[in-house]
Amino acid sequence: MIDGIKRTGCRIDRDEDSNIAPAEPNPSPQCGSTDRIVLVNASETVNVPAVNGGTRTGFSLLSGATEHNKSWFIWLLLVPVLLLAWTQLHWVTALGPGVHEDSYRYMETAWAFLHGYGFLSDDKPMTHFGPAYPVVLAAAYLVDGNLVHAARWLHIWLYSINIVLIGVASYVISERSVLALVVAPLAVMLSGELLVVYSTAATESPFIAFALATFVLLSMHIKAPRWSLLVSAAVCLGVAMALRYVGVTLLPTAVACLWLMDRRPPAHRLRECFFLSVVSSLPLAAWIVRNLIVAGMPTDRPLAFHPVGLDHLKVLVSNLCSFYLPIDVSPWLKLAVLISIAAVVSVQVYRQQSGIAAKTLQSLIVVFCAIYVSFLFVSMSFFDAFTEFEYRILAPVGVFSIVLTISVCLKIATTADQTWVRWLSGAFVLSVLVANAPEQWRVVTDLHRNGYYYSARQWRESETLAFVRSIPQSVTVYSNDPWAIGYLVGRRARMIPRKISPMALTPAQDFAQSIRAMCDDVAGNGAIVAFLKQNTWYLPTAEELQTACGFAVTRRLADGLVFASK
């Protein structure tokens, strides 16, 4: 038996455990001089000698030395793409990685973990996020010795790994298209919004990397089952789930495709689905148990009904379409164009009958994107109204859908029967690249010159933060943005009381008591309030603070106010 194919008389049978389909048998009742067998999803063509005479010609395998050298050359094409990705993120993070509120909390938790305090944020057990990213940050700190620099270098390498994995996934989906291997990573690199996400110290970059690795390994396992591939996929899936709670959407995706796409007997599939589910769930399960022990709840998101509205849907459609076409036209027009392209592509994919690995990876991506968006709807409607359909949240769907669409379109552009389909597919890929290029250049230039969020120059030049930096450490500081003070000034500040719970959209139950305690601290103990000029809808305004506490404005600065007792 060779590669899952065995010869029985003049007929070619398929081995039951193989995913390689034989060519149609010779319709002639007599065997010809040579039966030509094409191995589907492989590059080999085997000439099997006849049994009723003829010269034995042996095997003609393109996977010999020539094919080996060709494979090395193909993968070497990723090297310049990898170097370009590394240089790109190194350039845009010249002022440091993007750091927002969640980034600061990750860093704070990593610092506490490094110093033996466990997973703490704001001196309380951290349950809002998964544990994996603070651990990764802590490990990077051990190499660099500076948490911010460590985060920068970590994300430079994570971005490079992401680009390589995108190339590998595109190569599998397109069934060995060298053009897809190169163009799909470039399409992701040309997205300005995705570049902002990848350059920010948050969980999106490692999550996408581990999710992609899970899907590629699983598709390889389904094509040619090996326990090493399944174990690796389970480990990657477990890390992805420990990075972000929304990572649980990967588990039903993986299990469903493993059960439906694998062609082996049900007993094999049941055993492997059980193994994948148990092993991958262990890290997140352990984290949930820990949260229940230390905080009495699995996470700090309260259960309340706040349904997703029409405005949310408009943002969802607009942002998803902008990953492909970031141009100033109606998002509904862009959606209509993308749906039309998707319809043509889907028909062509169905007609071409992709190989098992390509079909599995395509199915994994489609199912994951559907479950991921559905999970966001449920989460936003019942657990976390503070979540929005912003680019950062939609980044996994953006990356996966771009990989799938570009790879399939490039395959169709070179293999479709109809000329108009080939031209349409090629034109769509070109339009995505051309539409993203100007926006990408603007984003790259802005990030390099000005930085992003708390790493931006405007924050580094803030007059309010400079004043906070100048006061003694013994003075208690309240602020509507304590994360900016913690990250840029290096001192702890307390959040002014919330009047609305941002996750439940309900009035804060202890607002009156909390605001009174803050007022008394300012009046009796000399604390101050550094109020930055920014709108945070769930916090009281400067006027409301003055009315509630009778504060005096001791400093009027370019970007904020300082309140103290009269």
Q: What is the pLDDT of residues 513-535, one digit of tens each?
A: 999 999 999 988 889 999 998 87
Specify the pLDDT at position 68: 54
Place of tokens 């709840």: 297
> What's the token pair of residue 112?
């506490």
> How far apart, in Å, do the first and last CA atoms of the chain sit?
91
Specify the pLDDT at position 309: 87
> What's the token pair of residue 256?
């469903």
Give the number of other CB atoms < 10 A from CB of residue 275. 15
CA dihedral (25, 31, 35, 39) positive or negative: positive
Residues 6+ away with beta carbon under 8 Å from 282: 238
How far is 494 from 492, CA to CA, in rounded Å?
Answer: 7
- Say which DSSP state 2 is in: B
Give the number of other CB atoms < 10 A from CB of residue 470. 8
Distance of CA 187 to the CA centre of its chain: 15
Q: Helix/strand/coil (H, E, C) string of 318-349? A: HHHHHHHCCCCCCHHHHHHHHHHHHHHHHHHH
Q: How many CA atoms lie within 13 A of 179 on its CB side?
A: 14
- For residue 299, is it left (φ>0), alpha (ψ between -120 and 50) or beta? beta
> What's the token pair of residue 143?
């190499």
Place of tokens 């439940």: 504
105 in helix, strand or coil?
helix
Specify the pLDDT at position 48: 40
Q: pLDDT tens across 300-310, in order?
A: 888 888 888 88
Helix axes 204-223 and 391-415, enclosed angle (nearest 10) = 40
How far is 243 from 460, CA to CA, in rounded Å?
Answer: 30
46 pairs with which residues across the strands?
Answer: 37
> What's the token pair of residue 312?
């949310």
What whole-number percentage of the chain has pLDDT above 90?
Answer: 63
Give the number of other CB atoms < 10 A from CB of residue 25. 13
Place of tokens 């899970």: 214
Q: What is the pLDDT along the chain (566 residues), one digit of tens a residue?
A: 434 434 344 433 444 444 444 444 444 444 433 333 333 333 333 444 433 344 333 333 344 455 556 677 777 888 999 999 999 999 999 999 999 999 999 999 999 999 999 999 888 899 999 999 999 999 999 998 889 999 999 999 999 999 999 999 999 999 988 999 999 999 999 999 999 999 999 999 999 999 999 999 999 999 999 999 999 999 999 999 999 999 999 999 999 999 999 889 999 999 999 999 999 999 999 999 999 999 888 888 888 888 888 899 999 999 999 999 898 888 888 889 888 888 888 888 777 778 899 999 999 999 999 999 999 999 999 988 888 999 999 999 999 999 999 999 999 988 888 888 889 999 999 999 999 999 999 999 999 999 999 999 889 889 999 999 999 999 999 999 999 999 999 899 999 999 998 888 888 888 989 999 999 999 888 899 999 988 788 999 988 888 888 888 898 999 999 988 87
Specify the pLDDT at position 366: 94
Specify the pLDDT at position 67: 53
Contact at 8 Å (CB) between 412 and 422? yes
* Nearest in space to 471 (alpha carbons), one of 512, 528, 509: 528
Contact at 8 Å (CB) between 218 and 254? yes
Residue-by-residue DSSP string for 173-192: HTTS-HHHHHHHHHHHHT-H
